[in-house]
Amino acid sequence: MRIIRRSLGICLWCQVMLVVPLVLLLVQRPKLMPLFEKSKEGCRRVDTNSDQLNVTESHTTKDVDGESETRAPVPSHTNRTKAPSKPFIHPSKPFSSPSKRPLRADDFEAEPKWSFDDDYKMDPFSSNTSCPSSVTSNARHSDWLSPIFLPKIKIFMDNSDFSNEIWDRLQHFIPPFGWMELNYTVVKDVVSALPPLPDQQILQAAQKPQDPQCFSCAVVGNGGILNGSGVGREIDSHAYVFRVNGAVIKGFEDDVGSRTSFYGFTAYTMLASLSDTQLKKRGFSKIPKDNETRYILFAEAPRDYAWLDALQKNKDIIKGTLENYRKHPRDDFGDSFDPKKLFVSHPDFMRYLKNRFAHGDILKTHRWMAYRPSTGALLLLTALHLCDKVSAYGFMTDDFYKYSDHYYDVKSSPIKFYANHDFRLEKHLWKHLHRENIIKLYQRR
C-alpha cells in the first residue's frame, strides 16, 4: 500500500507540474485584437494598422513643406471607430504600404480625425495685395477670422500636385477633401495634365500698375431674393463676376447682370443644370463662354475625375453616371477649349473650407460621407481667398422664407434643404462674415 500511495503521489505531482505552466501561459498570453467587432449598425472592420488619432486641440498648422501658420483650435469630434494611437506622422511622409488595404469610407462610422487633418499645402510665394481694406487685411484684424484664415493656402491644383507621398496622404480623406477610393491612374493622369500655375493668386497676379489699388468681386448665387432686385448693373460693375451651376442670365439681366468672369461647378451640377427642362426653358442651354470667362471645378467624386480625364484627352466618358448626360465633355466647351482657363480646386483647400468654415453636424453621424458644403458656398469662399473685396448676391439670408428657391422659378417654390448640405450653417456664416465687414451680403429691406 505504501508503494501504491507513493506512486499515486508521484503521478499527481507530475500532473500539477504539467497543468500549472499551461495555465500561466493562457493567462499571460497577449490579447489578440479582433478584425471585426459588433456595433449597433452591425459588424465593422477594426483597422489595426490605422494612423488615426483621437486628436486634441493644438494651435499650429504645418503645410507639407514645413511652413507653419497660427490657427484657431479646431473642434475634435468623438469618433466611434477607434484604433491604437500612434505617434504623429508628418503628411509629407508616405502612410501606406503595398500590403495594406486602402482605406474605405465604410471603415468609419463618423468622420475620421487624423493627426494631419488640419495640415494643408501652402503657397508662400503667391502675390500679396496692396489694398489696405482687403479681405485679407480685414481678416487679420478680426478676432474671429484671424486665427482660422489662411491667405497663403494653395487654392488650385497644378501638375506639381501629384506624387506617391501626396497620394498616400490624401487617401485618408473622401472627395472632395481628398482622394479616398479614387483610381490611382486616373488621378495621376488628370493632375499631371494640369497646366503649371506659378501664382495661386491669379487675380492679384493679373493686376497692372494702372489698375485700381483694390478690386472687387461679385459672387452671384441663384437665390430667389434676386428676383425683382434690380441689382444687375451693380453686379456687372465689379471687376470680376462669379456664377454657379444653373446661372440663368437671359431675361434676368436687370436682376443678376450679364457678365461671367468665373463659372463654378461640379461635373454633376453643371450637367444636371444643362439637362434640366425648366432651366432650358428659362434660357440656360449652355455654360457661360464669354471672352473673360474662366472655370472652377470642385471635384467632388470619382465621376469628376473621370469627366476631367475625358475633357483633357478630348475623348468620351467610358462609363459612369455622367455619360447619361453628356458622353463628350468637350461638347460643352467647344473646339477652342483652353486648359489654362480651367482651375481645379485643391482637395486641401476644400478640406480647409469644410474644417474651418462649414463643419456640418452630419459629420458626427454615420451619414458623414454624404456631406460637403454647397457648390455656391465653395465658390463664395474661394472668392474670399482671391479678391480684395467681395459682395455676395443671391445667398441665403434670415428672411429666406419670403422668397422662392431660385430667382428664375416660374412658380414660387420654397427652398429645398438637402441632407448633404447645411444651408442654415452657411446662412449663419454669411451673416457673420457680413457683420465682420469681410463681405457685403445683399439683403432685401
CATH of the domain at 404: 3.90.1480.20
CB 394 within 8 A of CB 220: yes
Does residue 26 fall inside a structural domain?
A: no
In a domain, 320, yes or no: yes
Please check whether residue 336 lies inside any domain of the structure. yes
How do beta strands 216-220 and 389-393 pair?
parallel
pLDDT at residue 99, rounded to an integer: 46
Domain assignment of residue 1, yes or no: no
Q: What confidence tens digit (pLDDT) does each residue in 366-425 have?
A: 899 998 999 999 999 999 999 999 999 999 999 888 999 999 988 888 887 877 788 899
Q: What is the pLDDT of residues 122-151, one digit of tens each?
A: 998 899 999 999 999 999 999 999 999 999
* Prior bond of 195 cis (ω within 30°): no
pLDDT in the model for residue 420: 78
Q: pLDDT confidence of 10, banded at 50, 70, 90? A: low
Q: Would you say residue 43 lies in a domain?
A: no
Distance, CA of 297 to CA of 144 (rounded, Å): 29
Residue 275 has pLDDT above 70, yes or no: yes
Q: Kindly state whether residue 12 falls inside one of the protein's structural domains.
A: no
- 242 domain residue, yes or no: yes
Q: Which three cell numbers stand for residue 26?
A: 493562457
pLDDT bin (cut points 50, 70, 90) of residue 445 is confident
Domain that holds residue 189: 135-441
Average confidence (pLDDT) over 88-92: 36
Number of domains in the chain: 1
Per-residue pLDDT band for 12 (boundaries 50, 70, 90) equals low
For residue 67, being part of any structural domain is answered with: no
171-225 pLDDT, tens digit each: 999 999 999 999 999 999 999 999 999 999 989 888 888 888 899 999 999 999 9
Highest mean pLDDT among 163-167, 273-277, 408-412: 163-167
The per-residue pLDDT for 318 is: 79
Q: What is the pLDDT of residue 324?
A: 75
- Convert the pLDDT of each residue in 29-78 to its tens digit: 333 223 223 333 333 333 323 332 233 333 334 444 333 333 333 333 33
Q: What is the pTM of this model?
A: 0.79
pLDDT, mean of residues 156-164:
97
